[in-house]
Amino acid sequence: MTLRIAADADELDHDGAELFLRIAKDSVSTRDRFAVAISGGSTPRGMHHLLALEPRISDMPWAETHVFWVDERLMPYDHPDSNYGSARDDFLSRVPIPDANVNPMPVNLEPHAGAAAYGQCLAEFFNHPSIPIFDLIVLGLGPDGHTASLFPGSAPDPSGEEPWVISVTGGNPNVTRLTMNYNVLNRARHVGMLVSGAGKADIVRRIHSKEPPLLPAHYVVPSSGPMIWLLDRAAAALLPEGVGHGTG
Ligand code: 6PG
């Protein structure tokens, strides 16, 4: 695990954009493509805006970048709460990424059918029957310990054989959603957890101290890559003194 504490939310946006760019370039140079899954919510929006601005817009290997969603609220893409709609407006419509590389979760199907369809989309892209391996998955953290749309009360199946994508109802907004499951999150080469603001300080402390009860964010423990926590000072305020170092 690495943990970096930014002075404020602006510096956190910058740290997130740098991480995204660095992993994109490394992935393209080693595997000729960059497969990333992004989350919704407010925290990643500043990072997304920065990716669409110089110098990063010119530095990013957009033609080799393939964007997927960690989770989606089942509402029209033009609704202000749509995760795809926000990312489209914040950066994807402003950068030279091929349309075919953008893979939103379906919102017009019955929830179970939508989850199965997105699982099939992942299987086709990764061209493999085993669990997809993303180069980067960017997550956010809710004050109740949820991440993605995996809410308290859920936990990974110890067999790891749960569906890759499931439908659930909950969160804020409290709607039906599709979400990647723990097995997919935990196979990523890098997982970035972006957390901002004093309202998240207590849950950051609880997740880091592994204080019971175990919550969804406790279960995100990538099996073969680093978990990279990017916090701002307000979100890190209740961590023990001395915690926090660079992500290299
Ligand atoms: C979604 C999410 C969710 C989000 C957290 C943090 O609801 O779409 O992906 O897991 O990342 O709730 O949200 P904020 O960044 O808005 O605090």
Q: Report residue 46 as tokens.
A: 């500043």
The string over 110-140, giving b where at least 16 C-beta atoms fall within 10 Å of a residue's C-beta and e elsewhere, is ebeebbbebbebbeeeeeeeebbebbbbbbb
Evaluate whether 75 touches 128 at the Cβ level (below 8 Å).
Answer: no
pLDDT (tens place) for every residue of the chain, 248 residues total = 999 999 999 999 999 999 999 999 999 999 999 999 999 999 999 999 999 999 999 999 999 999 999 999 999 999 999 999 999 999 999 999 999 999 999 999 999 999 999 999 999 999 877 899 999 999 999 999 999 999 999 999 999 889 999 999 999 999 999 999 999 999 999 999 999 999 999 999 999 999 999 999 999 999 999 999 999 999 999 999 878 755 43
- CATH architecture entry for 2-232: 3-Layer(aba) Sandwich (3.40)
d(CA 51, CA 195): 18
Q: Which atom of ligand 1 is nearest to the CA of 179?
A: 9
- 38, 39, 154, 196: residue to mutate for ligand 1 pocket, most atoms within 8 A of CB: 39
Give pLDDT, residue 247.
41
Residue 71's Cβ-side half-sphere holds a number of Cα atoms within 13 Å equal to 31
Q: Which residues line ligand 1 (CB under 6 A)?
A: 39-43, 70-71, 83, 140-142, 146-149, 171
Maximum Cα interatomic distance, the chain, rounded to a whole number of Å: 48
d(CA 89, CA 65): 17
Kindly report the pTM of this predicted structure. 0.97
Give pLDDT, residue 128.
76
Each domain of the chain, given as residue ranges in start order, spans 2-232
Question: Helices (DSSP H) in 160-240: which residue ranges?
Answer: 182-185, 201-208
